[in-house]
Amino acid sequence: MVTMIEIDHLTKRYGAFTAVDDVSFTARPGVVTGFLGPNGAGKSTAMRIMCGLTPASSGEARILGARYRDLTNPALQVGTLLDASAQHAGRTGREALTLAAIAIGAPRTRVDEMLSLVGLTPDESRRRLRNYSLGMRQRLGIAGALLGDPQVLILDEPANGLDPQGIHWMRGLLRGFADQGRTVLLSSHLLHEVEQTADEIIMIGRGRIVAQGATSELLAGQGTVVASLDGARLAEALRREGHAVSGAADGELTVDTDGETVGRVALQAQVVLTALRPAQGAGLEQMFLELTAGDARGTNGQEAVA
């Protein structure tokens, strides 16, 4: 099976400034991949290169085994949403989708199907885009991305402007798309939503990848949390075996080993356990802040190339 999105040593320079710095990763079929980073980290630049809108200084971005510009009618294979506001304000939503369908050769029946899918009513579809809310523009943009029934979705901040109900709807939409064996690359600042939606995460800071892997593995805690009827005795026994132990003796202890080992030590020490579970990870937000601390912006910071 062809890897759906493959980024190979991608670099983009603007004079002395490097927006994307030797980035390599893949986004696979059947997987929602979260593409994260602070403002100015290079996410949007990388996505524009993938979609053929910005040339790379070096390296390559391939979709379905080819560069975007080399695909035959790429809009039927790759659905994109990079800027929901980049639509003609004087057209209606239906007109915008109809013209897009004609341009890419998609069946006209897809217009009504997509309007229904994204929850835009017939009355809303007849409104001028200048009268659309941000959330309605996002829904129309998602409809446009799906219009050609693509195998790949590349979405930059698709939840921007959506209310909680809309975000929940989008999560199900993307999950269903990936479950069909298709590929989703999703950029978002809504970290809690990405944590619930993405199977894998690519995180960049200052143009470079700072973390990548399965979401569950990246966010997994290390070690074991244990509680017992004699915490001091258990802690002493664990330390004798060479394990690091933290926490109060009269409460839960965190140990730098697996639960089976903790259980064996407790049995040997004849200590009754009342709780034993894997340590929990810090969560995506804390990991994001720790890994991108160098990109933190002060109140007087200037916006960099995204």
Q: In the Cβ-directed half-sphere of 209, how many Cα atoms lie within 13 Å?
A: 18
On the 0-12 / 13-18 / 19+ scale of CB atoms within 10 A, 260 is exposed
Predicted pLDDT at 137: 93
- From first CA to last CA, the distance across the chain in angstroms is 32
pLDDT of residue 248: 75
| Homologous superfamily in CATH for domain 5-77+150-218 | P-loop containing nucleotide triphosphate hydrolases (3.40.50.300)
Helix (H) or strand (E) holding 63: strand 58-63
Quick one: pLDDT at residue 283?
A: 72
SS3 74: helix
- Tell me, what's the pLDDT at 304? 44
Note the pLDDT of residue 226.
93
Alpha carbon distance 75, 39 (integer Å): 27
Residue pointed to by tokens 């446009």: 144
Quick one: pLDDT at residue 102? Answer: 95
For residue 295, what pLDDT is reported?
65
Topology alike, domains 5-77+150-218 and 221-278: no
So what's the pLDDT on residue 149?
Answer: 96
CATH of domain 221-278: 3.30.70.100
> Residue 193 has which token pair?
């939503």
Which residue type is seen at 153? L
- Give the global pTM: 0.79
**Mean pLDDT by groups of 10 residues along the chain of 306 residues:** 84 96 96 92 94 96 95 94 85 96 94 96 96 94 96 93 90 95 92 89 93 85 87 94 84 88 95 88 74 61 46
For the chain, the domains span 5-77+150-218, 221-278
The DSSP H or E segment spanning 224 is strand 224-228
CA–CA distance, 47 with 284 (Å, rounded to integer) = 22
List the one residue out of 278, 154, 264 whose CA is nearest residue 223.
Answer: 278
User: Distance (Å, rounded) from C-alpha 19 to C-alpha 45?
Assistant: 7
Helix or strand (DSSP H, E) at 177: helix 164-179
So what's the pLDDT on residue 3? 59
C-alpha 254/C-alpha 265 separation (Å) is 14
| 245, containing H or E segment | strand 245-246
d(CA 7, CA 26): 6
| DSSP alpha helix (H) spans, 180-278 | 191-197, 215-219, 231-240, 259-268
